[in-house]
Structure 1
Amino acid sequence: MGNDIKTILNEVDFLFCIKHIFKCFSTRKDKNNPLKELFTELLEALRKDKNVENKTQSRCFIYFVNEYLGNDAPNPKYQVTKKTLSNYYDKYVRNINNGAGNPKVELKDLIAHYLSYKNYEDFLNSTKKKKICLICITKYKKSFIITLIPILAIPFFFYYNYETSNCIVWNKDHYERTTCTTEGAISDTLYHIDIARFKKVVLTKNMEFFTEGVPNYWYGSNNQGKREFFTARGIHPETKRELDEITEYILEQEGLINY
């Protein structure tokens, strides 16, 4: 951080630093990979958006592209496809080398604006909070120890227990709740899988594949490329890729329906 912030903080009091510390603890920016944080926050925000009825990654990005960016409107804010947005997410969040380029500044600004920032630069600058906090702690470290440690102990205790218990692990044909220290466990904070409904199944011709046109099953390929089916939306337990809803074309390929 530059000397300008140090100079400013030398003139502020302990109360300012206390308020800023609490802001820091509510900020989770990855300053080394801002695009990962940008697209992670985008999907999280879309899944919390009450206007998005279907919370799958695909439907969330469709909502963002069509409703927020207005791709279906005569004059969209920015023209981009759902597939391109998904490719950005896979590249920067899941580290999948899919050939996706770098998002344009206009798109990054619009995503940042949806996340309640002024623009992408404002999104990046929000990481300065952490640096300000470090300077505050350096200046008032003794006072922080006396004042804040007892106050922060309780929320950190609950946060730690939440983060270490909000994990799931795959067991044969279903997910089970477990601690995050379990081998093979993944955090369910991002995926929000309904593990009570999520099961791997073998489809047969006598099953009801659709209810009033809505698919009842999802599918994805395992590490050997074999297509597998599941009873709810989520990710494939092997590849960690998001599952797709079944279609009549997929069912026909599997020999489950005939025309």
Structure 2
Amino acid sequence: MNQATELHSSTVRQISLIATTEVRRLLSQTKGLVTLAAYVMLWLLILLFLVRDAVNLMLHPDAKDIVMQVLGEGAMSNLFNWPVEEFAMYWVFALGLQPMFAILLGAGQFADDIQRGTFRFLSLHASRIALFFGRFLGAMAVMALLSGATSLVTMVMAMVRDIHLALPAVICGLQVWLVILLMLLPYVALMSLLSVIASSSKQAVLYSVLFFTGLSLLVWLADVTVAPLAYLEYVMPGTETQQLMGVMPTQAPIFLKVALIQTVAFLALGFYAFKRSDV
């Protein structure tokens, strides 16, 4: 029993160490820094121009009536129910853009190291289960830091507009941040799988494009060919995005069950492929 406990404790320590190292690696390499710079610049533009202008429009007395007349009852009209308008708009952009960065940042989890053969050295100091899940958790930690930073900036924007929104902004920001992270889990897990079977991070990104494009086409063809193909939609991360846009964070967890199942499935396949790979 003690030996099993020590082995488990050692694996947990290894996973934690590898995850921390992965965060440092992604934040120090040129490729990672370029991606992070693009992330920061894009979100600054979105927050300072699109989100701020959209909030000003939402605050207009007739804005909700106009939206209801043009679009009817739907996701956009539900945005007016948010306690903090800045986070209502941040929510829309985050659901659409954060998965893209999760794919880009998660593509290098294994592919480049496998190509260089450096996993042979790493495997001498850590188990494969620690290497695989440590890299996955490291990629998720990076996305947690980035998402947290943009959420924090959005909080500040809301407080600057109205200091009385301080508490609602903090609560709403934390809720949005947690839901976004849950939504990103299957994307990073998918890249864990694809980066194991790809020969480079660029190829892993290409595989992800083929994965999403191919499944989207099959689901679209299901309406005119074989109806059961429509169930392939549940294999593809992001199937709940449209539903999430129409709800607030407190209502979101009910729509994330499929995302959690996808995460477990992708991680299981990825670890199986990693365990059998010759690295």
Answer with 1 or 2: which has the greater Rg.
Answer: 1
Q: Shared fold (TM-score greater than 0.5)? A: no
- The structure carrying a bigger strand percent of its residues is 1
Q: TM-score, normalised by structure 2?
A: 0.23
Higher helix share: 2
